[in-house]
Amino acid sequence: MEMTPRWPTMFGQGKFEVEGLFEYLFANYDLNDPGGDVDGANIFTDNSEMMNKFKSVVHGKFNEYLTNTISKTIEDFGDHEIKAWITGHGKGYSMTTHNHSGAHISAVFYVLAEDKYSGGSIVFIDPRSNANRGYDSSFDDLFAHHAFVPETGDYVIFPSFNYHHVKPYYSEFRICIPVDLYLYSNKDV
Ligand SMILES: [Fe+2]
């Protein structure tokens, strides 16, 4: 029998490094009230040398993801937008289940996540809604949540439709940067 995986949900993870980024964010942003995507905040409108360096790293990671999934890069599209904001900063931070509807590929870059024993994992849910209904537990692995426990310098990339939530973070301080990539086939869209 020929077996074919259908409806795959490609999940990327790896390490990134931008020297001085943490210090820059600390000095230039109010990390206690950084604004979120729903407020229209986009730290990528910051055209500083440091943020441009970070943008270029993010761009490269998205391109690696796109190359591995659809054999294209951002440059193959007519136009694109990238929006990023700061989150995950304070003690007790958590985020209820959501997706990044409207964007196409999303990512989270963990600029500072020193204490991996203090919660704060990001949990991805099988996007095939209710797919596990009625299956015996022998099939559990096919529907399992994927929990990623971040450390400083980690990033994850996933399709924006993939629902996820963030478990409470109990330590004092960390900095996560979610990023949404929008890809347009036509510049007029
Ligand atoms: Fe999210």
Report pTM: 0.92
- DSSP letters of the chain? ------S----EEEE---TTHHHHHHHHS-TTS---GGGT--GGG---HHHHHHHHHHHHHHHHHHHHHHS--GGGSSEEEEEE--B--BTTEEEEEE--BTBSEEEEEEEE---TTSB--EEE--SSTTTTTT--GGGHHHH--EEE---TTEEEEEETT--EEEEEE-SSB-EEEEEEEEEESSTT-
Residue 156 Cα to ligand 1 middle (Å): 11
Fold designation for 12-28+37-131+138-184 = Jelly Rolls (2.60.120)
Residue 188 Cα to ligand 1 middle (Å): 28
Residue 138 Cα to ligand 1 middle (Å): 30
Domain extent listing, the chain:
12-28+37-131+138-184
Residue 108 Cα to ligand 1 middle (Å): 8
Highest-scoring range by mean pLDDT, 28-32, 35-39, 125-129, 157-161: 157-161
Residue 27 Cα to ligand 1 middle (Å): 25
Q: What is the pLDDT of residues 16-33, one digit of tens each?
A: 999 999 999 999 998 877
